[in-house]
Structure 1
Amino acid sequence: MGKIIGLVVGVTLLGMLFAGSFLGAFHQPEPHGVPVAVVAPGEQVAQLQAGIDQRKEGAFALSEYTTADVARAALLDREVDAVLVPQEGKLIVASAGGRTGATIITSAFQAAAQAQGRPLRVEDAAPLPPGDSGGISGMFYVLALVLPGIALAVLMFQVAPGLGLGGRLGVLAAGSLVAGAGNAWLADTVFGALPGRFGWLVLVSWGISLAIGLVVAGLRKLLGVPGVGVAALLFIPIGLPASGGPLGARYIPEWYAAVGQILPLGPAAEAVRNTVFFDGAALWTPVGVLALWGLLGLVLLALPGRRPQPGVVVPRTPVAA
């Protein structure tokens, strides 16, 4: 009976971990320091910032830009999330960078314009493709790369336990490449959810799955089967909501977003998004985070394995001639 009670308590706590993590991140999305370029003199930008702060302090961070072209370039380079051109009554967003974020920005600035009796038209400089009009495919795509990385690392130890370091690296690299290419084919060619950059998408997908596989394999070697559980819990029920999911990191609690910046799922989603929709802009940071995770896994995988526990040696019985 004690084991049954323990099982029920454990399963309940696991469910509460998932529920608390996801609901804590997503139940009340609010903007936090969302960068917006404003094509206007500094004094006007300061006035606009004061007006925005009266509605929601700290929600948006306005910065001065000299021309609309420079501001638009900053938007497409992922330096800002929107561009406001007050003289033209225009707001430029990039829904491919996050549909929910673009909607929240649009609502906030349209409300401010209406309060002043001014019209505000909206332009989408980087729209979502027809195959992903809701803007949710990217996060699920990354999850579809994480799961094969975990499974490959786990099954490798079961199917070929005697592999050395080189063999394990070869299996992880080859398996991640196949998984990445297969997922990229589905996302680009079949469904059109992440279209137009197939080769680069394959490369980024391979790196994501490989980094996850290296970490899980390293923890599996260092800690045994519990290491896999640690990685799975860290990456999925914690890492997925901490990344901001389909909302984006700027719309969840700031402390949670800070955690998401150092776990691999958030940078992985950012790398996929920037590769497909923004011509590879701002890739250094997310790729660097993934590379550090992969390096950590490689170091753990190269460490000596756990020594077997000493057991009872049973003497052999001589066989009669």
Structure 2
Amino acid sequence: MATDNAPSSWPTVGRAVALLTVIISVLLTAFSWPSVRSSVHDVPIAVAGPSAATDQVRAALEQRLPGAFDISTVADTAAAEQLIRDREVYGAIDVSAGNPQVITATAASAAIAQTLQNVGAALSQSHAQDAGTPAAVRDLVALPADDPRGAGLAAGALPLVLGGILTAVLLTRLVRGTGRRITGALAFAVTGGLAMAAILQFWLGSLDGSYLANTGAIALTIAATSLTILGLESLLGYAGFGIGAATMMLVGNPLSGTSTAPQMLPGWSGPLGQLLPPGAGGQLLRSTAFFDGHGAAHSIIVLSAWLAAGVVLCAIGGLRSRQRPASPTADTTVRPVEPATA
């Protein structure tokens, strides 16, 4: 007779090994592919100066790095700087004074700032009589002195996602009632936002700007993530939780572009990442921390839409659970036995 302690069949072992192989392959692809295939393409930059000079720079850039930049031409340095501060462009090449000058914003993307420095040096060498003359570089919006590489901001992307997932897990396990779960998720978004912003800004020195604005950016990201997963779980059960967590962790986090820039991700993955909470949240936090909120509108709309969708899904799931008929119980009523008839 079979017992519970009997060994599993070999086909069962084979299926487990195959499933684990698929899972590790998906994880490796999700986290490695965006980094390995990263390159500069369609990065918005400005070129400032007279039309003849800017046309030469545009042609030189297209020759050196075809398709790398989406160039906006402006008349002078002030206009280029305004575009950078408004998060319309990542940097500028200023030829209004002759030899190209590079204006960067490492707070927007250290990787793109480095690319612009290299391009500016090459352009300067081609313009200057002395090939060893370096291009002047000015960092208009720099990262904090305590974190000049932006490591804290990049590392904070994963805890933002995990915070939303863990919120959904704990509230599903510990809290009953749709309204209480939504309230718990929103309350944790606030307290978690306060804590994470304090750590990143006051301890690690990775953020500048308004502490409350940074808190709001983090809180909105956590709320959008957690409520979306909670809504899917309330509607679809464990399958919904798996779909939500996988979307945020395996798609949203690798494609967020927080450590580099969305324009450096391959193909369609950059725009897709900005439509998911991790990508929108990372860009929103850069805007509040370093650009006085400029360029935040798109991220706020995306995060608010996910948050609202999560609340709606939670409400629908709660209504369905209340309308579900109760399981039938055994009828224990004692009835008199009628005499048999002939």
TM-score normalised over the length of structure 2 = 0.86
For the pair 1:98 / 2:113, whether they are aligned, the reply is: no
Aligned to 1:139: 154
Aligned to 1:219: 232
Displacement, 1:193?
A: 1.3
Mapped partners of 1:169, 1:249: distance in 2: 31
Mapped partners of 2:95, 2:289: distance in 1: 30
- CA gap of 1:203–1:245, structure 2 versus 1, over 3 A, is closer
Mapped partners of 1:2, 1:189: distance in 2: 55
Displacement, 1:297?
A: 0.7
Mapping for residues 48-59 of structure 1, pairs under 5 Å:
48-59=57-68
- CA gap of 1:116–1:204, structure 2 versus 1, over 3 A, is same
Q: Secondary structure in 2 aligned to 1:97?
A: coil
Mapped partners of 1:60, 1:172: distance in 2: 41
Mapped partners of 2:17, 2:325: distance in 1: 31
The one-letter amino acid paired with 2:140 is: A
Mapped partners of 1:22, 1:129: distance in 2: 27
Alpha-carbon displacement from aligned partner over 1:123-182 (angstroms, at most 9, x marks no partner)? 001111133222232233232122122211222121123x1x322221111111111111
Mapped partners of 1:70, 1:90: distance in 2: 14
Instruction: Give the stretch that moved more between structures: 217-226 or 1-10.
Output: 1-10
Aligned to 1:157: 172
Alpha-carbon displacement from aligned partner over 1:203-261 (angstroms, at most 9, x marks no partner)? 11111111111101100101111211111111112112222241211111121112112
Mapped partners of 1:199, 1:87: distance in 2: 39
Alpha-carbon displacement from aligned partner over 1:4-60 (angstroms, at most 9, x marks no partner)? 222222222122112112222111421111112111123332222111111121101
Instruction: Give the stretch that moved more between structures: 301-310 or 247-256.
Output: 301-310
Aligned to 1:10: 19
For the pair 1:78 / 2:87, whether they are aligned, the reply is: yes
Aligned to 2:337: none
The one-letter amino acid paired with 1:180 is: G
Aligned to 1:290: 303
Aligned to 2:38: 29
TM-score normalised over the length of structure 1 = 0.91
Mapped partners of 1:245, 1:279: distance in 2: 18
Mapped partners of 1:290, 1:77: distance in 2: 20
Instruction: Give the stretch that moved more between structures: 108-117 or 245-254.
Output: 108-117
Mapping for residues 1-321 of structure 1, pairs under 5 Å:
1-88=10-97, 89-117=100-128, 119-161=134-176, 163=177, 165-303=178-316, 304-305=319-320, 313-314=329-330
Larger helix share, 1 or 2: 1
Higher relative contact order (CA 8 A, sep 6+): 1
Contact 1:45 1:62 in 2 (8 A): no
Mapped partners of 2:42, 2:249: distance in 1: 26
- After superposition, the CA RMSD in angstroms is 2.1
Instruction: Give the stretch that moved more between structures: 235-244 or 76-85.
Output: 235-244
Mapped partners of 2:228, 2:168: distance in 1: 9
Q: What fraction of aligned residue pairs are identical, expressed as a percent?
A: 28
- CA gap of 1:199–1:96, structure 2 versus 1, over 3 A, is same
Q: Secondary structure in 2 aligned to 1:92?
A: strand
Q: Secondary structure in 1 aligned to 2:67?
A: coil
Displacement, 1:279?
A: 0.9
Aligned to 2:340: none
Contact 1:39 1:67 in 2 (8 A): yes
Contact 1:242 1:257 in 2 (8 A): yes
How many residues matched? 316
Alpha-carbon displacement from aligned partner over 1:95-120 (angstroms, at most 9, x marks no partner)? 01111111112112212322333641
Mapped partners of 1:210, 1:23: distance in 2: 27
Displacement, 1:311?
A: 6.2
Mapped partners of 2:200, 2:134: distance in 1: 38
Q: Secondary structure in 1 aligned to 2:247?
A: helix
Displacement, 1:196?
A: 4.0
Where structure 1 has 5 or more consecutive residues not aligned to the other structure, the ranges are none
